[in-house]
Structure 1
């Protein structure tokens, strides 16, 4: 794209209309942390569960959401939350949802949380699983990690059969019930269950959480959102039949009926309107995308005026290096960090694999380094992540599979081996450190020609402070011979892997037969 086209595209983005409800947001920065014993209406059982997690108070964004859901707000409006990474967004929605569902002992699927990746969904499920059992609620996971049959057995409760009795198949299917109150899912597997799993229904759904909203709205994901909204709207006809309400018969939109569930006094009925919470550290402001969510009188909660915000305790640095010697600068930097838990981000899964392989050919660095990318099986990624969390691995080389939402306690440093192309990517990468009020550093390796572009990138997040971080020149010189040896080993490794792939993909039947 030429410069004129880029400027035109940039001006079009700037000219996008801002939705009226986004012009006067609730500033989360004005809200203070709140000790659990001062949090109004908190169920004592949940307070104990939180204390067992080591939580003694709620962060500002968590307090703000609590006030708008359990407090005076009482879920009368849908919530849009734009808050920096590591600010506590997961617990911000998990806690009020669990509290609300605990007030009614009905076993059916009443809350759905949708996330873009398996790893992130598994992490969110763990948060729910630490508090939900305290009030008698169960949480399910639908991400495709296991077979769909195994997932069905976890999500659907089948009636007990007595020997010697004949059952009508239709009656049997009607007795299938949800075994979970809350479901955490990825879009693809959610659609699989909607289309194929008997007994799986969204007709009782009260709460829908769309986490990492901008990514979920950007990608189609089998049209999961229109499907969910259509199913939750279609059940409203039986929940609020015209004959039992004062609604005029001229209403032809089920969406209108659901909205009027609050506006016309149905708020306290068995099936209120579907409440939505959408969250991201970089929430889109595009009206056409937000319109897909069909939000009800949305309330916008954000921190400050800028859409793009970095964690308060984050320090950003840049390393200027020669292109050919980039791996040397990375190794020298890792040595100065002395084994601190760090994540190195690359631009692709292929780069992740090759860089990790190269680093492990550098001899005895006394640093345990592993890769984490979409090329690996889910079981391998999960094992690696557990080892990283436990401190058995000090450095994780990752593609952007780990950029969004992943929470690993004790990550002190994030290193951008490849400069991110967009400020969103920088924010989500950098947000793996300096979480929950902790300090952290983000280093970005740059060629000289990238420095000016990187400065413009950071200005979009109001960051004008990114000093140069230098590594000792003697460290670079001492690594040169080891580097050359590591490069030679990498070339041999790549050749061997390429040969292995060709051998696996080789099919004798593809060879033309002589006639």
Structure 2
């Protein structure tokens, strides 16, 4: 269940009551940013960054500036405000002061595509100061990852030796690792030479999602292996360590190898989300050290400043027609269409294919597809080869696709969090954008209450000419028949989910693609 659906009696932690308002900060040209390494300034300019956004300036002040990483930092800032560079830049600068090749910064994210995106941000600046960045994600070759993450002994560059015999000689080949939870656990428990003993920085991006039960197993393990003072190993961590029969990756208290006699630095945590949880039971899992909260404005939920919200009210059976008419109206602009589930995304994508020659190119992006297919669709969308991407909520968290002008909620988002993360795919980095939501009449009141949680009362009705919908009816009738044939075929082949065939059995003319 989404957090905002819970009772409002959840207590707010004391440190969250007096946050620093990010909106009080101004953009800062790179030349005026204090202490910025000239090499990083050149790297940023090379990728088109000439000034920092307010959230980036605020985090810099609490890390490289007066704050100097003395406290763990929690950031609650709108999507598209620049949170990735906000933590990437100070971490890279801090690590560049010590010339030691070992894994010192770990960034954990919920999805492969988001991890790839964040890795690219780090990779655009880290090499300029001699740092290496690695990637550990699912649905890719773990053997290839190991060869990239672990440095083999210099005396053995071509002969295959037993890793057990060389365990003490295997070292990290990267300073910074961007990972998804599952693949991170794979490396912790099975990869020889993979160690968190030197870890200085832990970033938990998309924190709300990362603290859900499905993702939680990685967190206690990482905290144990990077903890400087705890001598006891939890049963959970011990069971994981036994998988590779080595305790050498446990971070020992006292003097650290390679840091010239200095004691271990405290593990600094940076926690970020556009909808940061206030639930003490969830936040307590992170073991935050005197946390410091940076937030945007006086509301927990905030939409991008230049986002315009619209609603289209229609009968249930006409929703697909309204969507096609709207996409035709927006033809030539990059659009993201969100549905409530992977099944709904799949059905809607199939249905659109049977509408004839539409003036836009589109593709499906959902969990029903193999990763390679999703990646190909996303690349085509980024490159402008397709105009419309029909997606489940897999795209809502953190994904940054340049040039998205419109977000369309084909299915009404059930919670304000969902709306914020969907709408945040447009109007990013100070650009303008629109978010359209298709609503049945009985959803209008609920939708208004959802937007009020973000202090948004300016969602006007977007008109569509009646004839732009009516002339689609004949194509829609034919498309429904073809959709049924495809779903029946997929069901016989075992490729259709259980909800697909059930939804098709609805009477002709109802909102077939809708859950």
Tell me the number of residue pairs that the alignment of Structure 1 and Structure 2 aligns. 474
Q: Is the contact between residue 228 and residue 264 of structure 2 (CA under 8 Å) also seen in structure 1?
A: no
In the TM superposition, what are the counterparts of 1:246-257 in structure 2 within 5 Å? Answer: none
In the TM superposition, what are the counterparts of 1:383-422 in structure 2 within 5 Å? Answer: 383-422=376-415
- 1:481 matched to 2:503? The reply is no
Helix, strand or coil: the match of 2:41? helix
In the TM superposition, what are the counterparts of 1:171-186 in structure 2 within 5 Å? Answer: 172-186=166-180
Helix, strand or coil: the match of 1:209? strand
Helix, strand or coil: the match of 1:96? helix
1:81–1:163 Cα change, 3 Å: closer
Please, which of 122, 134, 140 is the counterpart of residue 134 of structure 2? 140
**Aligned-residue offset at 1:500:** 2.1
Deviations 1:343-378 (A, max 9, x none): 000001011011011112111112101010111111
2:107 paired residue number: 113
Q: Tell me the distance in 2 between the aligned counterparts of 1:399 and 1:388.
A: 15
2:85 paired residue number: 91
Deviations 1:39-94 (A, max 9, x none): 11111111111111111100000000001000111000000000000000000000
**Aligned-residue offset at 1:454:** 0.3
Unaligned runs of 5+ in 1: 239-256, 504-515
Please, which of 13, 23, 30 is the counterpart of residue 29 of structure 1? 23
For normalisation by structure 1, the TM-score amounts to 0.88
Helix, strand or coil: the match of 2:103? coil
Q: Relative to structure 2, which stretch is displaced further, 491-500 or 36-45?
A: 491-500
1:203 paired residue number: 197
Q: Tell me the distance in 2 between the aligned counterparts of 1:340 and 1:199.
A: 48
Helix, strand or coil: the match of 1:76? coil
Q: Relative to structure 2, which stretch is displaced further, 161-170 or 189-198?
A: 161-170
Q: Tell me the distance in 1 between the aligned counterparts of 2:160 and 2:174.
A: 28
In the TM superposition, what are the counterparts of 1:65-464 in structure 2 within 5 Å? Answer: 65-161=59-155, 172-221=166-215, 223-233=217-227, 269=262, 271-464=264-457
Q: Tell me the distance in 2 between the aligned counterparts of 1:164 and 1:281.
A: 47
Deviations 1:373-413 (A, max 9, x none): 11111111111111101111100000000010000000000
Helix, strand or coil: the match of 2:68? coil
Helix, strand or coil: the match of 1:183? strand
For normalisation by structure 2, the TM-score amounts to 0.88
Q: Tell me the distance in 2 between the aligned counterparts of 1:372 and 1:171.
A: 45
**Aligned-residue offset at 1:335:** 0.8
Unaligned runs of 5+ in 2: 233-251, 497-515
RMSD: 2.6
More helix by proportion, 1 or 2? 1
Q: Tell me the distance in 2 between the aligned counterparts of 1:124 and 1:24.
A: 30
1:467–1:236 Cα change, 3 Å: same
Deviations 1:163-193 (A, max 9, x none): 9999896551100000100000011111111
Helix, strand or coil: the match of 1:283? coil
Helix, strand or coil: the match of 1:421? coil
1:498–1:146 Cα change, 3 Å: same
Q: Tell me the distance in 2 between the aligned counterparts of 1:402 and 1:164.
A: 42
Stretches of 4+ aligned residues off by more than 3 angstroms: 9-12, 160-171, 234-238
**Aligned-residue offset at 1:220:** 3.7
Q: Tell me the distance in 1 between the aligned counterparts of 2:162 and 2:34.
A: 50
Deviations 1:102-123 (A, max 9, x none): 1111000000000011111111
Q: Is the contact between residue 414 and residue 429 of structure 1 (CA under 8 Å) also seen in structure 2?
A: yes
1:162–1:308 Cα change, 3 Å: closer
Q: Tell me the distance in 2 between the aligned counterparts of 1:26 and 1:393.
A: 41
Q: Tell me the distance in 2 between the aligned counterparts of 1:133 and 1:374.
A: 34
